[in-house]
Structures are given as structure tokens and as C-alpha cells.
Chain A
Amino acid sequence: MNATVLVSMLATSVAAASPLLLAALGELVVERSGVLNLGIEGIMLLGALTAVAATLGSGSVLVGIACAIAAGMLLGLLFAFLTVTIRADHVVAGLAMVLLGDGLSSFAGHGLVGIDIGQNVPPLALPWISDIPALGQIFFRQNALVYFSYLMVAVVWYFLYRTRPGLALRAAGEKPSAVDVVGWNVFRIRYLAVLFGAGMAGLAGAFLSVAYLSTWAEGMTAGRGWVALALVIFAGWHPIKLLGGAYLFGFAYILIAQSQVLGGVFYMISTYVMQMFPYLMAIAVLAVMGRRAMKQRVGAPEALALPYVREER
């Protein structure tokens, strides 16, 4: 494998990683607020379909993406109502979201399977920095949504660690009663966090359908929503570490897609076995992280997946 091939593989890895990164960043904020949304996969599917349908309807990819975010947030609103207001079990509500997103998208997407939307989000070489050898090619000749994902890593980091609302959000995930005592509204924080996370998952779905493939296929997220969930843990709930994790997985996906082309040792391994790789990698990574977490006590937000009840404060 020569350098040019490697650089182009890394560039496609960054693109493949972006939907993971977007969805996982959203989920990270959700989990930091104390809510566990297992429904990412379903929200991504609905986002992917909505993006295709709205793009075909309006003729504009931008409208398609906006609608996908809105559709994601709509499911998010339902999820927040169930988990924050009604205080339903987060795990079960999340699984119900997967069923709902999967059901809605396969039902409404019947007539759209395989239709090419005829456009996508075009790659955009950033001036100056795209000319940096290797790095420019890998990171700065991507589409606008990829740049948005870079931006969001910084935004989420700054919000969580350098602003007061960010502090309140983190506190809502650790000790909601304390947040309540100082006058912040735990319910509002969690609602907003879930809406943000669901919007990001919708966007991640749109990335897959209109920016990555330009078409809709039933179940096209193929487990990426679940991988995004694992990434959040892998990253120890930290946005910067998430960036590295997402690219590692993006590279794994590209390695699988290219395994037949690369030949050599990759050709020997069955494609099915190759496809197990991201999942096994996720487990291995969780095992390594788990040991470290047990030693250093950096773990999940203390109040993750626990409903907050005011009168029990």
C-alpha cells in the first residue's frame, strides 16, 4: 500500500466517521445530562429517510437536512416526554424509539428505496489549509457537514467545560438535586439535551443518506447508531476523545469496504468476519476503558438513566 492510497483511504475514513461523530456527540451531551437514549439507531433511520424525502420534494439538499434534524428532534421530544416527564424506563423507552424509527422509516420509505436523489453535499476544498500535504487532503477536502462535525466537537467541548449552562448540564447528570437547589430546572436541561442529541442523530442519518450515499435503503444505518453509543463510553464521555474514537471506527469501516480491493491477507478473510471487526473492536475498547475506569473512577455520569423526582429531593 503506497502513500497516495493510504491518504485517500484516510480521507474516506474521515467521511465515514462523520455520521458516527455527529450522533455520538449528541448522545454524549444527552448522557451528560443524565438521560440514556438508546434510540439513536431509530432516530438516525428516520433522519436518513426524511432527508431523502425532503430533498426530493424540495429539490434542495439543505432543506432535506433541516427536515431530518427536525424529524429527529420530534422523536427526541417524544423520548424526553417519556423519560423525563413520565419517568419511563430509559432502556425500554430507547428500544421503543428504535422500533418506532425503524417502523416509520420502512413504512414511509417504501416508494423511495433505491431512488437516486441526483445530488449530494459537494466536497468543498478549504482555501490554504487544503493544500497542506496529506493533512489537507485528509481533513480539508470534505463536504460541509464534515466541517460542521469538527466545529461541533469544539462547540460541545466549550459548552460543557467553559460555560455555566454546560456546568449545570453536567451537574444534572451527576447530582440533579444539587442543580435543582441552586435554581436551575433539571427537567428543562434534560429536555434540551435530549432535543439536541436527537437533532444530531437526525443529522447523522441525513449525512448517511444525502451526503454519503445519495439514496435511501431500508435499515441503511446498519448498526451505526449502536456503535455511536459505544463510542461515547469509549471516549469516557469526553468530546475530544470522541473525535479519535470516531475516526478509528471510520477507518475500520473503510478497511472492510476496501478489503477485497486491497488484496493480500485481507482477501483471505471472509467479508462477514471482516464486518465483525468494528463490533469486536468496540468490545475490546470498552474492556480496556472499563479497567481504567475502575481504577481511576472516571466513569458514567452518576445519575445516568435515573429519572429525577422533585419531591424526593
Chain B
Amino acid sequence: MAIPLWLRLPGAFVLSVFLGMAASSVVLVAVHAPVLETFRAIFDGAVGSWSALESSLVFAEPIAFTGLAAAVAFRARVWNIGGEGQMVMGAFGAGLIALNTSLPAPLMLLAVVACGMACAAIWAFISAALKVWLGVNEVLSSLMLNYVAILWVQSLVYGPWREPGGGWPYSAYFPDEARLPTLGSELDICVIFAPLIALALSTLLRFSRWGFEITVVGHSHEAARYAAISVTRITILVMLVSGALAGIAGIQQVSGSAGRLYVLTPGYGYLGILVSWLAGHDPLLVLVMAVFYGVLMQGGAALQIAQIDPSLVRIIQAAIILFALAGLTLARRSQSRLHISKVDRT
């Protein structure tokens, strides 16, 4: 075929996005929604100006971290579906320090971040431990723990941690020392840390011994055993790192622009999984896909402002994702057939 190899995956992705847009246009026409105005509102509101792009990045921030979390786990074929719950526990951990202690300025923020990441990692560790020692499928245990984590934070913000005198399920505001430094109006420092962490992960996965071991475990448990790599150790390690990364998303949500603990907007954890898959579990591509998804989400918010039904964007999102899923699956297969036939079987 004439299409060069390096162009196949990005080409398939772009083509899938256009096909998804075409398919969703059909749906929009069917429900008598204005097609051109809808897409224009999404475009203008999400990438059309600097401030629009900034708003898209705000959505992309948590997805980048949950996406990185998923990428690390999925590379070892550890199916951590619990990014959502780990994110929520990260937010809880941040709140635990911010609302209950008073520390001087630099220490406070460090403690908030450390405690958030630790709580999230512990939450992920539960699933890892259940998997390696009790044989519990991690897809289901991490999923169930999502609901438990959300209910736990709900019980706090509707109960003991609710802002005194406040009528809404929010905690009191965090002290300034516990807030993330901001850049611009809504963005926080995480927008700089996300690429740094992605770069570090990418390097570690490619060049370090851990990265190699993770890859081996991801390809074949049998091969790992022959190479004297402990599948148990790698599973636990990967889940701890994955959980901690998802935890950053939660810390960012509460210590960033919100500045207090609340019941986090649901979905970022699951979106991380999708984004990671779209990126082929490559940390740097995860960032690209997170920004892409952030644009889609900000597009939904923009529709609301343009007084078009914002849930239209969910149809568009679903269509694009489905086409991308099909398109990338086919493109990756044709690529791996040329590279290494039959190796990439599960």
C-alpha cells in the first residue's frame, strides 16, 4: 500500500474524527439541530481564541493525569478501571490535610499533594492486593471501589466536613497555603507538571529496568516468569504509580480553581482510560489526546453559552470515539502485521 507507515495511525485517527463528525451530523439533522452552527460553536468556544483554548486546557488537565494513570497500568495489562475512585481519594487526601492542619506555606502544599497521592495510591493498592493474593478481577474490584470512594466523599461533604452554615455539599475553602499556584485565570501549575511527568514516564518506560519489566509482564506472564520478573511485584508497583497519578487529578480538582472539597464531576477517571487507549498507552500521546478531549468537553460548555442543547456534544463525542476505536484498531492491526506478524496477540 502507498500510505507510509508513520502516517497510518495519525491518518486513521484524523479520518475517524471526520467520519465521527459526519455520522453525528446525520444525528443532528435527524433531531433538527442546526449542524453548522453547532460545530461552529464548538470550534469557536474550544479553540477559536486564546481564552477558549485555555478553557479547553482546564478540562484537559485532569484527563491528562487519569490518562497517564491508565497508560502505566494498561502497559502491564493491569486493567485499572478505578481511576475515578483513585482521583476522588486523591481529592479526599488533599482535603484531609488542607482542612485539618495548619502548616507554613511551602510545607502545607507539599503535605497536601503527598497525602492526596498517598490516599489514591492506597486505594489502588486495595485492588492490586485483592488481585495478586485473592485472585479478584481488578476490573471489578477497582470499579466497585469507585462507588465506595464517591460515597465516602459524599458522606463527608454532606456531613462533618460541610462548610459551617453553608447550604451546599462543599467543604470550607482551603487555606491559601494549600492551594496550587495559578497561571492565568483558571489554569493552575499542573498544566506545566503534566508534560513533565509524561516525559519522565515516557523515559522510564522506554529506558529503565522497571519500564522493561512492565513491558514484559504486559506481553506475557509466562515470559516474565522465565525472566525471573515477579508479576506480583510489578502488578503492585504499577497500581501504586497508577493510583498516585490519578490522585493528582483529584488534588488538582480541589486544590486548583475550586479551592475546596466537593463531590467531583464524575467521568474523568473513565475518560482517562479512553484517552490512554486512543494514545496507544504512550504517555506523550496521552497528553495530545487529553487536549483533544478537553476541546470536545469545552465545546459542550460553549454550546450552552450559544444556547444550543449542550448534550448534543455527548452524541458527537460518542460518535467520534466509536469511529476512532474502529479506525485505530484496524490501523494498528495492519501496522503490526507488517512489523511483527502475530506477536501482538493477547
Q: Assign chain B's interface to a size class.
A: 35 or more
Q: Give the Cβ gap from A88 to chain B, nearest Cβ, in Å.
A: 4
Residues B158 and A272 in contact, CB atoms below 8 Å apart: yes
A86 at the interface (CB under 8 A from B): yes
B151 at the interface (CB under 8 A from A): yes
B270 at the interface (CB under 8 A from A): yes
Listed stretches A100-108, A125-133, A179-187, A259-267; interface member: A100-108
Residues A279 and B145 in contact, CB atoms below 8 Å apart: yes
Known: A86-B330, A287-B130. A280 touches B346 (CB 8 A): no
B135 surroundings in chain A (CB, below 8 A): 290-291, 293-294
Which residues in window 287-312 of A have CB below 8 A to B? 287, 290-291, 293-294, 300, 305-307, 309, 312
A56 at the interface (CB under 8 A from B): no
B152 at the interface (CB under 8 A from A): yes
A103 surroundings in chain B (CB, below 8 A): 311, 314-315, 317-318
A24 at the interface (CB under 8 A from B): no
Interface string of A64-96 (1 = CB under 8 A from B): 000000000000001000100011110111011
B99 at the interface (CB under 8 A from A): no
B329 surroundings in chain A (CB, below 8 A): 82, 86-89
Residues B151 and A106 in contact, CB atoms below 8 Å apart: no
Provide the bound-state CA to CA distance between A2 and B145, in Å. 34
A217 at the interface (CB under 8 A from B): no
Residues A87 and B151 in contact, CB atoms below 8 Å apart: no
Q: Give the Cβ gap from A100 to chain B, nearest Cβ, in Å.
A: 4
Q: Give the Cβ gap from B310 to chain A, nearest Cβ, in Å.
A: 9
Provide the bound-state CA to CA distance between A185 and B125, in Å. 42
B107 at the interface (CB under 8 A from A): no
Q: Give the Cβ gap from B131 to chain A, nearest Cβ, in Å.
A: 9
Known: A96-B318, A283-B144. A290 touches B136 (CB 8 A): yes
Provide the bound-state CA to CA distance between A287 and B126, in Å. 12
- Name the one of A87, A93, A102, A233 contacting B140, with C-beta atoms under 8 angstroms: A233
B79 at the interface (CB under 8 A from A): yes
Listed stretches B200-208, B210-218, B227-235, B320-328; interface member: B320-328
**Closest B residue, CB atoms, query A219:** B266
A305 surroundings in chain B (CB, below 8 A): 346
Most chain A CB neighbours (cut-off 10 Å) among B136, B137, B139, B312: B136
B148 surroundings in chain A (CB, below 8 A): 276, 279-280
- Name the one of B81, B145, B317, B346 contacting A283, with C-beta atoms under 8 angstroms: B145
Q: Give the Cβ gap from A296 to chain B, nearest Cβ, in Å.
A: 11
B29 at the interface (CB under 8 A from A): no
Residues A286 and B140 in contact, CB atoms below 8 Å apart: yes
Residues B311 and A106 in contact, CB atoms below 8 Å apart: yes
A1 at the interface (CB under 8 A from B): no
Which residues in window 264-286 of B have CB below 8 A to A? 270, 273-274, 277
- Name the one of B145, B151, B270, B312 contacting A98, with C-beta atoms under 8 angstroms: B270
Known: A92-B274, A280-B144, A283-B130. A107 touches B312 (CB 8 A): yes
B154 at the interface (CB under 8 A from A): yes
A230 surroundings in chain B (CB, below 8 A): 140, 144
Residues A233 and B137 in contact, CB atoms below 8 Å apart: yes
B333 at the interface (CB under 8 A from A): yes
Main secondary structure of the interface of B (DSSP, over half): helix
B314 surroundings in chain A (CB, below 8 A): 99, 102-104, 106-107
A110 at the interface (CB under 8 A from B): yes
Which residues in window 229-280 of B have CB below 8 A to A? 270, 273-274, 277
- Name the one of A78, A99, A233, A283 contacting B274, with C-beta atoms under 8 angstroms: A99
Residues A107 and B325 in contact, CB atoms below 8 Å apart: no
- Name the one of B143, B277, B309 contacting A92, with C-beta atoms under 8 angstroms: B277
A226 at the interface (CB under 8 A from B): yes
Residues A86 and B326 in contact, CB atoms below 8 Å apart: yes
A38 at the interface (CB under 8 A from B): yes
B309 surroundings in chain A (CB, below 8 A): 107, 110
A38 surroundings in chain B (CB, below 8 A): 139
A282 at the interface (CB under 8 A from B): yes
- Name the one of B140, B158, B274, B342 contacting A95, with C-beta atoms under 8 angstroms: B274
B345 at the interface (CB under 8 A from A): yes
A223 surroundings in chain B (CB, below 8 A): 147
A275 surroundings in chain B (CB, below 8 A): 151
Which residues in window 210-227 of A have CB below 8 A to B? 223, 226
Residues B139 and A276 in contact, CB atoms below 8 Å apart: no
A195 at the interface (CB under 8 A from B): no
Residues B136 and A88 in contact, CB atoms below 8 Å apart: no
Residues A283 and B79 in contact, CB atoms below 8 Å apart: no
**Closest B residue, CB atoms, query A106:** B311
**Closest B residue, CB atoms, query A281:** B144
- Name the one of B79, B130, B312, B326 contacting A82, with C-beta atoms under 8 angstroms: B326
Provide the bound-state CA to CA distance between A96 and B325, in Å. 9
Provide the bound-state CA to CA distance between A91 and B273, in Å. 10
- Name the one of A88, A89, A96, A286 contacting B137, with C-beta atoms under 8 angstroms: A286
Known: A92-B273, A275-B151, A291-B135. A229 touches B318 (CB 8 A): no
Provide the bound-state CA to CA distance between A9 and B242, in Å. 42
B155 at the interface (CB under 8 A from A): yes
Q: Give the Cβ gap from A190 to chain B, nearest Cβ, in Å.
A: 16
Provide the bound-state CA to CA distance between A86 and B331, in Å. 11
B330 surroundings in chain A (CB, below 8 A): 86
A287 surroundings in chain B (CB, below 8 A): 130, 134, 136
B335 at the interface (CB under 8 A from A): no
Residues B159 and A96 in contact, CB atoms below 8 Å apart: no
Provide the bound-state CA to CA distance between A287 and B144, in Å. 13
Interchain residue pairs with CB less than 8 A apart (20)? A82-B325, A82-B329, A86-B330, A87-B333, A88-B329, A91-B79, A99-B317, A100-B321, A103-B314, A103-B315, A107-B311, A107-B312, A229-B140, A270-B155, A272-B154, A272-B155, A276-B147, A279-B144, A283-B136, A307-B346
A-B contact sample (11 more), CB < 8 A, given A226-B147, A279-B148: A82-B329, A86-B330, A88-B326, A89-B277, A95-B81, A102-B314, A103-B318, A104-B315, A270-B159, A283-B130, A287-B136
